[in-house]
Structure 1
Amino acid sequence: MQRAITGLELIQGETARLIPVASEKALEGRATSILLATLAVVENFAAAILRTVGQRVGSRASIQCFTEVVLSQDGDQKDRPDGLIVVTVGKRTWSALIESKIGNAVIDAEQIQRYLALARQHKIDAVITISNQFAALPTHHPIKVPKTATRTVKLFHWSWTSLLTQAVYQIDVEQDIDPEQRYILQEFCRYFSHASSGVKTFDAMNKEWREVCLTVKNGGKLLKASNEVKNTVGAWNQEQRDIALLLTRELKAPVSVKLRKSHRDDPEQRLKDDCADLVKTNCLSSIFVIPDAASDLTVTANLGLRTITCMMELQAPADKKSTKARVNWLLRQLQRSSDGTIQVVAKWPGRMHDTATSLEVLRVDLNALQCENQRLAPSRFQVVLVRDLAGKFSGAKTFLDGMNLAITDFYRAAGEHLKPWTPTAPKMPVKDDNVEEFKPSEVNT
């Protein structure tokens, strides 16, 4: 029996249920139903999630969500998308087909191309996939489809972890959520945080990771067009997103991966450029934007040295003239740091080489960073942690564990204490009571 829903003719479509009655083995169906039911009910959560795919929804919006969707199809195709979202604001309607995977299942390119064709046939605006695969942005899809397939239908991707992180953020940070909706979000988080839900964080690099590390260690040459390099960069990009989500949950603030515009707009160009950078430098790097932090956080994995470097950079206070005074300004910020591995790098005006020393040494000798030219003062400081992972670096899982620990250790020891220098406001001259005040009215005309 067909159902007319905001202009769509559904042969079949069940309203998404918060407590689905699907079989325990039907993890994908259960997860999809719980997610879509939560989107339909919790306004703030829906607004945040749908904003990532370009849809701004307010109190006037109506959100309908369905599972077990069947639409009329051309030919012999019997595809059945996992879900459907329909957003109505006034006379405007936006809709999206949902295809979800859980556990180790990955998105199938052939299936998604069929769903894109189905969406075109029914004038549905988008196809959204959900899986444990990560993407830097919802527009950066884990699979490649012909550009012609997305000419009139947009393709987006959410990871289950990103959805869970947004729910955690809503609970911990957002204040204007009524008790019933907060309870639903808490139950949502409880379900998707449990191992039995099938939701996974990114917990291992690609299968070629060890081979790539050994090639670099032994002085071999990586090839930017090889599958080993492409898969390594692809895994690194997924790990970047996972780190951003980890920091978002830990800091209760929306941390994001910093991408230049050409990479935001074109994920294929990003992959190509990142492969070239890995081959050239033997390093994988990422920059994270942390709201209200003193600077962006740069993380670099050096395959040759087998190290993880975490770094934040600050402008030195221009109102202090000597190296001692500028160093002392930085030390006051780090006085609670007890991590003996923190390093400080001073950058100097002109062509003077950088100087570096440990935070421990600098506390004893404020001149330990001074360059050869005693009249110069540093223009910028870099606060750095370098963690040597040694043999653990080439392990697909131990590498990620070591890097995540290095990042959280660095931020706890240094990053959260750093503050940027800001110039003081200009001040009025000190008033001299012995000098008669000038009055404009006394000027002869």
Structure 2
Amino acid sequence: MADRPTFLESGEQARLIPVAADSSRETRAVSILLAAMMSVPPFALTMLQQLGQRVGTRSSLLGFTEVVFTRNGDQAKTRPDGLLVFDGGRGRQWNCLVEAKIGRAEIEPEQITKYANLARTNGITALLTISNQFVATPTHSPVRLPKSVLKGVELFHWSWMSIVTNAMLLLNEHKFERPEQRFILNEMVRYFSHPTVTVSSFDRMNPEWKELNAKVQSGARLSRSSPEVERSVAAWHQESRDLCLLMSRRLNRTVRQRLSKSHVNDQVTRLKDDSDSLIARHALSCAFDVPDAASPLQVVADLQRRCVSVSMVLSAPRDKQRASSRINWVLRQLAKTDPAGIHVRASWPGRAPDTQATLADLREDASLLEGENKSLAPTQFEVLLIRDLAGKFSGSRTFVELLEEAVPHFYEQVGERVRGYVAPPPKLRRAEPEVETQIEPEAPIAALPEPADP
């Protein structure tokens, strides 16, 4: 067995084929994950970087399961699912407890409090939770704990689906030095993708989702502190992350969610801000950066209108002066797009109002997008897919299903086809212009005055 840390009384090295009881599903899953990280350095690099660790050529990683600590303090019966021991080289060592949940089991605040105390007692500075719950970044957590509980211990979280997605992207993008590394990682993905392991995507909104929709439709006043607002926003955050992972898997490229710095640093601030936005606008929104796409992907769930919209914004070409030329520029890019549900909105300079028309109508008459002032030209276009979900909007399952169908559909029909405006490069003149030189006639030299008599 690999060298076991001195603060461990007992613990099994993580193995790809663990020997564990049928009831120990979490232990089996953690063992396979940690063993894959130990065996496939590129995978370990990808995952550990998310936890703020720098991985170099001299780095090493060990994983243990069923760990029992020599110093348990008042946590004698507390036994986390795993332990990561990372040696970054030059005496830099980082240890991290691992606690996992499988299926619909969720991370519990009381349990995390005990593990944080156990970590501090043994000089461990990090705690990683893994479950089917989704968070925007690994530094966020699905549970809210007082800062005093986590003093001296960093709390991280991975969803099982984020682990699978990162592995799939690596399998598609990376060239492994040794074939067995690809085989091991592929087998790990195959294991976690099997239905019996119950690794799942986010598939339903919170139970209060229907009540929230009913209040919005009736015009009732919403409160930030009400359960239906706070829990619906938290569920939307999970769904946003799941959408990000879904698009990453569909595109075989890493899609990132757009978050402000304050929201990345503090998930409580994000929850409050998005709750305020929901109360003011009766809508939930998120945005994604797709590699090499013309613009970010904007997603809005409008509770008032009971519709979902997905859109991209394109700056109008500045080298075209007429409104019709700019409108035709965007319509040509959508020539092969399925027009069902697709709208185009044009923004105009000054106080001129936006104009909007369906793609189907614009194909018949592009002038429908022109404004009243014919001397103006649009400054930007927004291409939207609008899906009216009607009564299905308030269904906790149907809402997620239809949203996760709409976003990839929009990207396939619009995102893959449109390109942002790029100014054409300047052209050389056929010949250098001749510089006219005019020679001034020499002025006559004035006669010098006669010297005065002394």
- TM class, shorter-length: over 0.9
Letter in 1 for 2:49: R
Work out whether residues 3 and 10 of structure 1, in 8 Å CA contact, stay in contact via their aligned partners in 2.
Answer: no
Q: Corresponding residue for 2:44?
A: 46
DSSP 3-state at the match of 1:243: helix
Work out whether residues 101 and 131 of structure 1, in 8 Å CA contact, stay in contact via their aligned partners in 2.
Answer: yes
Q: Does 1:68 pair with 2:62?
A: no
1:415 Cα deviation (Å)? 1.1
Q: Corresponding residue for 1:202?
A: 202
Letter in 1 for 2:299: V
Work out whether residues 53 and 138 of structure 1, in 8 Å CA contact, stay in contact via their aligned partners in 2.
Answer: yes
Q: How many residues align?
A: 435
Residue deviations 1:323-378 (CA, integer Å, cap 9, x gap): 12111211221122123321100000111000001112222323221111101110
Q: Does 1:229 pair with 2:203?
A: no
Work out whether residues 345 and 354 of structure 1, in 8 Å CA contact, stay in contact via their aligned partners in 2.
Answer: yes
Q: Does 1:139 pair with 2:123?
A: no
Letter in 2 for 1:220: A
Residue deviations 1:103-158 (CA, integer Å, cap 9, x gap): 11111111111111111122212000001111111111111122123231100011
Q: Does 1:32 pair with 2:30?
A: yes
1:3 Cα deviation (Å)? 9.4
Q: Corresponding residue for 2:323?
A: 323
Q: Does 1:401 pair with 2:388?
A: no
Q: How does 1:297-312 map to 2 (within 5 A)?
A: 297-312=297-312
Q: How does 1:209-358 map to 2 (within 5 A)?
A: 209-358=209-358
Gaps of 5+ in 1: 439-445
1:424 Cα deviation (Å)? 2.2
Letter in 1 for 2:140: H
1:221 Cα deviation (Å)? 1.7
Deviating more after overlay: 379-388 vs 16-25:
16-25
Distance of 2:273 and 2:49 partners within structure 1: 28
Residue deviations 1:156-206 (CA, integer Å, cap 9, x gap): 011001001101111112234531111111111111111101211111100
Work out whether residues 54 and 88 of structure 2, in 8 Å CA contact, stay in contact via their aligned partners in 1.
Answer: no
Residue deviations 1:70-108 (CA, integer Å, cap 9, x gap): 112113532111101111122211110000010111111
Letter in 1 for 2:367: N
1:435 Cα deviation (Å)? 4.0
Q: How does 1:86-101 map to 2 (within 5 A)?
A: 86-90=85-89, 91-101=91-101
Q: Does 1:154 pair with 2:154?
A: yes
1:351–1:27 distance in 2 versus 1, CA, 3 Å: same
Letter in 2 for 1:25: S
Distance of 1:310 and 1:204 partners within structure 2: 20
Work out whether residues 27 and 198 of structure 1, in 8 Å CA contact, stay in contact via their aligned partners in 2.
Answer: no
Work out whether residues 344 and 357 of structure 2, in 8 Å CA contact, stay in contact via their aligned partners in 1.
Answer: yes
Work out whether residues 120 and 153 of structure 2, in 8 Å CA contact, stay in contact via their aligned partners in 1.
Answer: yes
DSSP 3-state at the match of 1:249: helix
Q: Corresponding residue for 2:112?
A: 112
Work out whether residues 2 and 13 of structure 2, in 8 Å CA contact, stay in contact via their aligned partners in 1.
Answer: no
DSSP 3-state at the match of 2:15: coil
1:322–1:37 distance in 2 versus 1, CA, 3 Å: same
Q: Corresponding residue for 1:441?
A: none
TM-score if structure 1 supplies the norm length?
Answer: 0.94
Letter in 2 for 1:80: R
Distance of 1:20 and 1:385 partners within structure 2: 48
> Aligned residues: percent identity?
46
Deviating more after overlay: 111-120 vs 386-395:
111-120
Work out whether residues 316 and 421 of structure 1, in 8 Å CA contact, stay in contact via their aligned partners in 2.
Answer: yes
Deviating more after overlay: 71-80 vs 211-220:
71-80
Q: Point out the structure with max Rg over C-alpha.
A: 2
TM-score if structure 2 supplies the norm length?
Answer: 0.93
DSSP 3-state at the match of 2:311: strand
Work out whether residues 36 and 185 of structure 2, in 8 Å CA contact, stay in contact via their aligned partners in 1.
Answer: yes
Q: Corresponding residue for 2:20?
A: 22
Work out whether residues 4 and 10 of structure 1, in 8 Å CA contact, stay in contact via their aligned partners in 2.
Answer: no
Work out whether residues 3 and 9 of structure 1, in 8 Å CA contact, stay in contact via their aligned partners in 2.
Answer: no
Distance of 1:3 and 1:352 partners within structure 2: 71
DSSP 3-state at the match of 1:136: coil
Distance of 2:427 and 2:78 partners within structure 1: 71
1:58 Cα deviation (Å)? 2.7
Letter in 2 for 1:200: S
Q: Corresponding residue for 1:80?
A: 79
Distance of 1:3 and 1:160 partners within structure 2: 26
1:380 Cα deviation (Å)? 0.2
Distance of 1:367 and 1:272 partners within structure 2: 43
Distance of 1:83 and 1:212 partners within structure 2: 39
1:426 Cα deviation (Å)? 3.1
Distance of 1:277 and 1:134 partners within structure 2: 21
DSSP 3-state at the match of 1:367: helix
Gaps of 5+ in 2: 438-454
1:340–1:151 distance in 2 versus 1, CA, 3 Å: same
Q: Corresponding residue for 1:57?
A: 55
DSSP 3-state at the match of 1:387: strand
Distance of 2:237 and 2:192 partners within structure 1: 23
Work out whether residues 316 and 380 of structure 2, in 8 Å CA contact, stay in contact via their aligned partners in 1.
Answer: yes
Letter in 1 for 2:14: A
Deviating more after overlay: 94-103 vs 72-81:
72-81
